[in-house]
Amino acid sequence: MTLDFRQFTAADILIFASICKDAFDADSQLHLGENGGPSGYDNGDYLSRHFLNPDTVSFAIFDDGKAIAGACVKFDGHTAELESLFVKSDAENQGYGLQIWQFIEKKFPDVQLWKVATPAYSVRNHHFYVKKCGFQKVMMCDNTCYFEKNKRTECIGCAIASKKVVPTGGLIKETSNFILHQDPEIPIKNFLIITSKKHIHSIAELSKEENTELSYLAYQTRTALLSFADIINCRLIQEERSEHFHLWLLPRYHWMDEKFDDTLTSVRSIMDYAKENFKSEDSLNEILMATEELRELLKR
């Protein structure tokens, strides 16, 4: 097969709407025994929302002149998310999906971290992304599975620990075995990370002394955050499936209460919302001011 990748346009919605519906229905029928898909998948709204989004690069894909598949990618620096990839149901299991993914990966060689999310029930898609495309499952949250393919030559935790990468606002505090810094990807003020200088995965790999050091740094940081009157509370999260040990300190703000439940399952949605809506220079300046204030508080 020789696929033809064209830029997706508004005119393509009429052509691909039925293919999109067909693909989602086939997957839903396979796993749930009923038709279904994301909002607007069956009337073209899904395609308008994702494939015509100015922040995405989208493809209408043809084989021998026949519409066969669609794909769109959203970029955030050197990170990219495969927002959608669907193949006409009667063309499944013929290698189209893998060829499309290989084309996309080759077309954007500067991407260091690829992300994709699929419904938790869609086991066939999980197998495709892990076994065929080289992704790893990193999280399941709110009935959605998240996968990543990291092409960095060095993990981001090691790069920060070795100071090859400077996170937003710089290092806030450094101890013998840990570094405290602003999350480098999620623009939420005082969304902090304590990163281990050692490349480990679990708190169980730390010595007793290192655990004491970590606990005290977390205590100092949380105490310092009490000086920020707009923080309602703070959630501490540690995920052992991460490639490099880190502890998240995620503050809760009133804007989160207005939009999201105060539950662990809402964390990923909060992060996605922040990445989408807090891109302005004002947001960055607010983060930089907060990191500087926190740095001074932790010197006392």
Quick: pLDDT tens for 5-33.
999 999 999 999 999 999 999 999 999 99
Question: Residue 3: in which H helix or E strand, if any?
Answer: strand 3-7
Summarize the confidence of residues 162-184 as an average pLDDT.
91
> pLDDT class for 152, splitting at 50, 70, 90?
low
The greatest distance separating any two alpha carbons of the chain, rounded to the nearest whole angstrom, comes to 69
Helix (H, G, I), strand (E, B) or coil at 219: helix
> pLDDT class for 77, splitting at 50, 70, 90?
confident
Q: Above 90 in pLDDT, residue 236?
A: yes
Contact 217, 180 (CB under 8 A): yes
Residue 23 main-chain phi, psi, to 5 deg: -65, -45
| Each residue's pLDDT tens digit, 118-142 | 999 999 999 999 989 989 888 888 7
Pairing mode of beta strands 113-119, 79-87: parallel
Tokens of 227: 């000086």
Tokens of 187: 């623009």
| DSSP letters for 190-217 | T-EEEEESS--S-GGGS-HHHHHHHHHH
> pLDDT class for 153, splitting at 50, 70, 90?
low
- 169 vs 181: CA distance, rounded Å: 8
Which pLDDT value is given to residue 150?
A: 82
- 58 vs 74: CA distance, rounded Å: 9
> pLDDT class for 164, splitting at 50, 70, 90?
confident
| DSSP letters for 98-139 | HHHHHHHHHH-TT--EEEEEEETT-HHHHHIIIIIT--EEEE
Which pLDDT value is given to residue 180?
A: 96
Q: Which residues does 136 contact at the CB level (< 8 Å), separation at least 6?
A: 130, 147, 148, 149, 150
Place of tokens 């169980």: 204
Q: How many helices (H) and strands (E) does the chain have?
A: 9, 12
Which segments of the chain belong to CATH 3.30.428.10? 156-297
Nearest to 80 by CA among 58, 99, 62, 98: 58
Query: How high is the mean pLDDT of the chain?
Result: 92
Q: Which CATH class is domain 156-297?
A: alpha beta
Place of tokens 């052992």: 240
| DSSP letters for 226-276 | TT-TT--EEEEE--TTSSS-EEEEEEE-HHHHHHS-SSGGGHHHHHHHHHH
| Chosen CATH of 3-150 out of 3.40.630.30, 3.40.50.970, 3.40.50.150, 3.90.1150.10 | 3.40.630.30
| Each residue's pLDDT tens digit, 199-227 | 888 899 999 999 999 999 999 999 999 99
Which segments of the chain belong to CATH 3.40.630.30? 3-150
- 67 vs 9: CA distance, rounded Å: 13
Summarize the confidence of residues 43-60 as an average pLDDT.
95
pTM recorded for the entire structure: 0.56
